[in-house]
Amino acid sequence: MKKAKTNKAFDRAVEDITEVFMFDHWTRFYFIFEEGKKLMVKVPEEVCSQVDKEYPALKGLLDLMNNEEIDQQKSMNTVCSFIGARFDGTKYNGKIVPKVFDSKAFKMEMYLFNLWIKGHESYLESEVMTFANWKELYAGWRDQDEVKNYVERLGNAGQGAHIQPPTCSTVQ
């Protein structure tokens, strides 16, 4: 019986950690501005208020990033520190979070999320969307039969196999 509990906690941890990375990407996608030779995260107050209302658990990450200089390394450090402080040994058993980062489930979800962004980049750039919109669009894309079939083929493929990504033309 204990094994099923661990699996549920693990699955929730994968979802929570994936959401943090998605949120970080959303923030950097829309709210990085160049100031002199620096890249700065500048999230408008109304967006901060909306995040606080809709995703209070992620507001702390936004607070760490907002009005700060950013680069890839600092972004990764901030996200990992946030995950460590919020989940590792607090919300989840201390052994779960490291396992999530090494898991096929997490790596697959991050791969698919990045694939979705690449495939929908021009649409996503057409207007500043809320994080809730991103999550909804991504979930709709993930729910398409073509994407489900692709995920299944990926899951069944051996190491190093090359599987053509789905070519969904509809924006979800």
Tens digits of per-residue pLDDT, 127-169?
999 999 999 999 999 999 999 998 888 877 655 545 555 544 4
Predicted TM-score (pTM) of the model is: 0.86
Condensed to tens digits (0 to 9), the pLDDT of residues 52-73 reads: 999 999 999 999 999 999 998 9
DSSP bridge pairs for 92: 88
Q: Where are the alpha helices (DSSP H) in 32-130?
A: 45-54, 56-65, 72-86, 96-102, 104-125
